[in-house]
């Protein structure tokens, strides 16, 4: 079903582009630059990993959350926070401001298959007030959107959260449906799509989000006047596949996507290796994250081959299908 939806979306989007002044997409292999701006840390709860994806004319890409290659060997997951060698507590980074809001939790959308929940925290590190719209219903000041898949194959297992969005800073997280019999999985690496900007930390400035149930897509309006659309194309026990399209080219030096993650050591990390394939190449090259600097890629994966003591089940994040 999801694969058919993805293909239908691709053809429909091409027709839409012709009618709205957009240009048709063309493959962009080999001219997408992946740049590593990671800095070292000894704190496992600090997002010190920052890798940017950019390319002249880049307007379309796919993001996939995939189980780490060692997933079938995990008997018990590890997800407890580790604040050793950290200089902040579990509530906030010391440099973060705190803006106050009226807390709430609301159901934004629900069917027999999906559930979407919106959350507003009592405090948040940014003052941005982003509206979230579903079928004409507006929910104000949403800090976190959680998307669940209800388990029809194993109804006793309940529902699985597979995607979250933080509208005030543009951070997304995704994870596949857990592999049985473990039936658990945690988030790890975050990703950003859209016009990525360097502020106190990298952000995407979203001004409004509309979810369209018929196409399973998030329509994103940004503060710079541009627009993007992220579509949920596949959700299963192998991966979560998300297709993103932007309505205009960004400046050549501005990333259209980025990851944020944590690395202390290979065995204490949410991502530890960068694997990529250059245009025309058949094989992937792999380097440890600290040694990776920059590459021109046709696809790239951020993952782990050693079981981590921290968030062991957190997925690899793959980027590809780049296009103008």
pLDDT for 85 equals 86
For residue 3, tell me if it sits in a domain.
Answer: no
The answer, yes or no, to whether residue 6 has pLDDT greater than 90, is no
The answer, yes or no, to whether residue 101 has pLDDT greater than 80, is yes
Distance CA 248, CA 26 (A): 14
- Confidence (pTM): 0.87
For residue 8, tell me if it sits in a domain.
Answer: no
The answer, yes or no, to whether residue 188 has pLDDT greater than 80, is yes
Residue 310 CA, chain-centre distance (Å), reads 19
**Domain total of the chain:** 1
pLDDT for 157 equals 56
Instruction: Report which DSSP code applies to 27.
Output: B
**What CATH number corresponds to the domain at position 64?**
2.70.98
Q: 155: pLDDT confidence band, cut at 50, 70 and 90? A: low
Whether 322 and 58 have beta carbons less than 8 Å apart is answered as yes
Q: 24: pLDDT confidence band, cut at 50, 70 and 90? A: very low
- What backbone phi and psi angles, to 5 degrees, belong to 6? -60, -45
For residue 6, tell me if it sits in a domain.
Answer: no
Q: 80: pLDDT confidence band, cut at 50, 70 and 90? A: confident
For residue 13, tell me if it sits in a domain.
Answer: no
For residue 15, tell me if it sits in a domain.
Answer: no
For residue 14, tell me if it sits in a domain.
Answer: no
Q: 16: pLDDT confidence band, cut at 50, 70 and 90? A: very low
Whether 304 and 272 have beta carbons less than 8 Å apart is answered as yes
Tens digit of each residue's pLDDT (9 = 90 or more) over 261-272: 999 999 999 999
For residue 11, tell me if it sits in a domain.
Answer: no
pLDDT for 75 equals 77
Which residues pair with residue 261 across a beta bridge?
49
For residue 2, tell me if it sits in a domain.
Answer: no
Range of the domain at 167: 23-323
């Amino acid at each position: 079903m999801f694969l058919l939806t993805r293909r239908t979306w691709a053809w429909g989007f091409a027709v839409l582009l012709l009618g709205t002044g957009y240009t048709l997409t063309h493959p962009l292999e080999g001219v997408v630059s992946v740049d590593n701006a990671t800095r070292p840390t000894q704190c496992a709860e600090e997002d010190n990993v920052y890798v940017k994806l950019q390319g002249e004319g880049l307007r379309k890409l796919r993001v996939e959350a995939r189980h780490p290659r060692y997933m079938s060997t995990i008997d018990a997951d590890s997800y407890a926070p580790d604040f050793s060698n950290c200089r902040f507590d579990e509530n906030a980074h010391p440099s973060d401001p705190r803006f106050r809001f009226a807390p709430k939790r609301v159901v934004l959308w629900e069917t027999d298959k999906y559930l979407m929940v919106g959350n507003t925290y009592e405090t948040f590190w940014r003052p941005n007030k982003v509206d979230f719209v579903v079928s004409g219903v507006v929910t104000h000041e949403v800090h976190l959107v959680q998307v669940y898949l209800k388990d029809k194959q194993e109804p006793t297992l309940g529902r699985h959260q597979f995607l979250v969005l933080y509208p005030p800073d543009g951070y997304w997280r995704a994870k596949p449906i857990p592999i049985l019999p473990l039936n658990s999985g945690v988030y790890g690496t975050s990703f950003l799509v859209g016009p990525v900007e360097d502020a106190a930390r990298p952000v995407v400035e979203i001004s409004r989000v509309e979810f369209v149930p018929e196409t399973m897509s998030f329509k994103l309006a940004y503060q710079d006047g541009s627009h993007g659309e992220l579509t949920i194309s596949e959700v299963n026990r192998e991966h979560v596949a998300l297709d993103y399209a932007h309505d205009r080219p960004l400046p050549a030096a501005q990333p259209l996507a980025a990851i944020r993650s944590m690395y202390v050591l290979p065995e204490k990390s949410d991502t530890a290796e960068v694997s990529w394939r250059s245009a025309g190449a058949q094989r992937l090259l792999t380097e440890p994250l600290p040694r990776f600097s920059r590459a021109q890629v046709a696809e790239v994966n951020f993952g782990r081959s050693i079981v981590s003591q921290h968030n062991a089940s957190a997925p690899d994040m793959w980027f590809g299908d780049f296009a103008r």
